[in-house]
Amino acid sequence: MKYIVKNYPEPATFTAWKQRKKLTKNDLLRKTRLQKEQGEIWKTFTKSKEKNNLKESLLNEQGFLCCYCQQQLHLNENTQIEHLAPRGVDALKMLDYDNLLAACNGGQPEREQRKG
């Protein structure tokens, strides 16, 4: 894995989406059922218009290179958002910009790739 220096600010659209959904870190700390809800929270985000803004910011920060294989990435369906600390391991970092990276789909056909 390539070491990524996280020096870009979180996109304002991502911050605003989290605030509208009451998903800031303090809000997440107050949620007692967070582990059960995290899949739904992430699914909601991946269907939002803010997802492409986040992907674009991650791609710019990484020089349009996959965090794993350094393959050239593009802002399309073959690029996914990865969690450095997996959502199931640390739900509080699920929406933490410093925990998010852009990655290729690992050569998976489009219909088999995870949505991210």
Distance between CA atoms of residues 82 and 59, nearest Å: 12
Q: Is residue 115 part of a domain?
A: no
Residues sharing a CB contact under 8 Å with residue 87, sequence separation 6 or more, in sequence order: 38, 39, 42, 94
Higher pLDDT, 44 or 35: 44
pLDDT at site 91: 76
Domain that holds residue 82: 56-108
What are the Cα distances from residue 76, in Å, to 6, 55, 59, 96, 116? 22, 9, 11, 22, 11
Count: domains in the chain: 1
Helices (H), the chain: 12-20, 25-30, 34-46, 50-61
pLDDT at site 7: 86
Q: Is residue 48 part of a domain?
A: no
56-109 pLDDT, tens per residue?
A: 999 999 999 999 999 999 998 889 999 999 887 887 788 899 999 999 988 665
Q: Is residue 65 part of a domain?
A: yes
Overall pTM > 0.85: no
Q: Is residue 113 part of a domain?
A: no
Q: Is residue 46 part of a domain?
A: no
